[in-house]
């Protein structure tokens, strides 16, 4: 069966198997949701427009621009329990700074419940496993919003400056960071500490000591403890060596409150996987508990899945040489019974098949090449 599936279809099948192995179950959602859900949570959504329409009941609906919001709204973990779901869905939105709407295909998972060290380690290890299924040589980079927010909090700047600082951090722009801090009347050790943190990159374990040295308050200390626990869990899962620390990974929304991460594979120009912890979204939706998940953006993998060799319409092109429809049908059936794909037509014009055949006078299939 695998032979007739495209590479993307085989990947989705492998991802489903990977996620199911940890107790995650499939989640299907409607293509439509009430627009209010997205209007009230716009800062959680990636930048871009939402396609809306009015249904026959007069309600304003949206063609789904996001899956996580739907899961967070519709599913709730019971006391002491958890919700583990995976999905492969298409979402529809206008990419930032681009014209027109796009269908964005993605596969991923969400964990709702007590997001302890094990749960975070499980999700991150599944993210690393997803990248490994896509391509060898993949890289998973992670950051912690608690640590970044703690360092920014130590500067004592306002909310507007905080947003500008986050954008400079995402661009690894130490010069802009210093300029912004100067404009806010901040200088010295807190500024240099932030610039030093933004420049960190490498294996998580090798950078934990430096993070401890840079910790300045309870928020950064809590982040360091979480990352240290996470490193231990990832080692037990056998993936710690493939996970890097990169504090330039940030989010300027109000929803990601802890771990955030991105995944990269050779040949893709941008991150093909993105995820993080979003307890604050549950709080906004009136729910308690933790939440963490990620999505693999399958549409970004199209370049990787271009065929390496010639494509064929079928294994056998069976030419109609006048043997009649019944004879062609019988011959095609015999060939398909041998596991071959068969295309029947009057001539070979415009077709590429592995072999060409016709039915001879004795009613047998005769190959012409």
pLDDT > 50? residue 1: no
In this structure, is residue 252 part of a structural domain? no
- pLDDT per residue as tens digits for the range 2-36: 556 678 888 999 999 999 999 999 998 877 777 78
Q: How many other β-carbons are positioned within 10 Å of the β-carbon of residue 40?
A: 12
In this structure, is residue 299 part of a structural domain? yes
Assess whether 156 and 125 both reside in one domain: no
Reported as a pLDDT band with limits 50, 70 and 90, residue 155 is: very high
Residues composing the chain: 369
Residues 6+ apart with CB under 8 A from 26: 16, 85, 86, 87
Distance CA 325, CA 108 (A): 48
CB 364 within 8 A of CB 356: no
Assess whether 52 and 79 both reside in one domain: yes
DSSP three-state, residue 95: coil
Sign for the pseudo-dihedral over CA of 183, 185, 187, 190: negative
Domain carrying residue 357: 314-367
Q: How many domains does the chain have?
A: 3
In this structure, is residue 254 part of a structural domain? no
Assess whether 193 and 304 both reside in one domain: no
Assess whether 4 and 131 both reside in one domain: yes
DSSP three-state, residue 313: coil
Assess whether 143 and 76 both reside in one domain: no
- pLDDT per residue as tens digits for the range 231-261: 999 999 998 778 999 999 987 556 788 999 9
Q: What is the pTM of this model?
A: 0.81
Q: Identify the CATH number of the domain in which residue 7 sits.
A: 3.30.930.10
Q: Please report the pLDDT score of residue 220 as a whole number.
A: 95
Assess whether 22 and 95 both reside in one domain: yes
In this structure, is residue 256 part of a structural domain? no
Q: Please report the pLDDT score of residue 95 as a whole number.
A: 60
CB 9 within 8 A of CB 107: no
Assess whether 20 and 113 both reside in one domain: yes
- pLDDT per residue as tens digits for the range 283-301: 888 898 999 999 999 988 8
In this structure, is residue 286 part of a structural domain? yes
Assess whether 158 and 227 both reside in one domain: yes
Assess whether 95 and 179 both reside in one domain: no
Assess whether 210 and 95 both reside in one domain: no
Q: In what order do the strands lie in the sheet with 342-345?
A: 342-345, 314-319, 353-359, 365-367
Reported as a pLDDT band with limits 50, 70 and 90, residue 357 is: confident
């Amino acid at each position: 069966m695998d032979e007739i599936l495209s590479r993307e279809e085989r990947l989705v099948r492998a991802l489903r198997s990977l996620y199911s192995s940890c107790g995650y179950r499939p989640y299907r959602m409607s293509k439509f949701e009430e627009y209010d859900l997205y209007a009230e949570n716009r800062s959680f959504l990636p930048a871009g427009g939402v396609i809306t329409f009015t249904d026959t009941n007069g309600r304003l609906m949206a063609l789904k621009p996001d899956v996580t919001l739907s899961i967070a709204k519709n599913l709730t973990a019971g006391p002491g329990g958890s919700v583990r779901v995976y999905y492969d869905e298409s979402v529809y939105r206008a990419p930032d700074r681009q014209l027109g709407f796009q269908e964005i295909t993605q596969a991923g998972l969400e964990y709702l419940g007590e997001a302890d060290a094990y749960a975070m380690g499980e999700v991150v290890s599944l993210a690393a496993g997803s990248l490994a299924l896509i391509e060898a040589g993949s890289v998973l980079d992670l950051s912690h919003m608690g640590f970044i927010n703690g360092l920014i909090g130590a500067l004592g700047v306002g909310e507007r400056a905080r947003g500008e600082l986050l954008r400079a951090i995402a661009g690894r722009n130490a010069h802009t960071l210093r300029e912004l801090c100067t404009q806010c009347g901040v200088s010295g050790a807190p500024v240099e500490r932030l610039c030093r943190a933004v420049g960190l990159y490498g294996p998580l374990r090798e950078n934990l000591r430096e993070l401890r040295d840079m910790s300045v308050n309870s928020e950064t200390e809590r982040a360091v403890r979480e990352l240290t626990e996470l490193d231990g869990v990832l080692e037990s899962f056998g993936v710690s060596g493939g996970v890097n620390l990169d504090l330039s990974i940030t989010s300027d929304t109000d929803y990601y409150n802890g771990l955030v991460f991105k995944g990269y594979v050779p040949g893709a120009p941008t991150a093909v996987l993105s995820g993080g912890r979003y307890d604050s979204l549950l709080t906004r939706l009136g729910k308690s508990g933790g939440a963490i998940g990620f999505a693999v953006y399958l549409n970004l993998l199209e370049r990787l899945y271009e065929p390496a060799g010639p494509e064929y319409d079928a294994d056998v092109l069976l030419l109609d040489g006048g043997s009649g429809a019944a004879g062609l049908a019988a011959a095609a059936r015999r060939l398909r019974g041998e596991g071959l794909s068969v295309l029947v037509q009057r001539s070979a014009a415009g077709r590429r098949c592995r072999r060409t055949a016709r039915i001879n006078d004795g009613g047998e299939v005769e190959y012409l090449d």
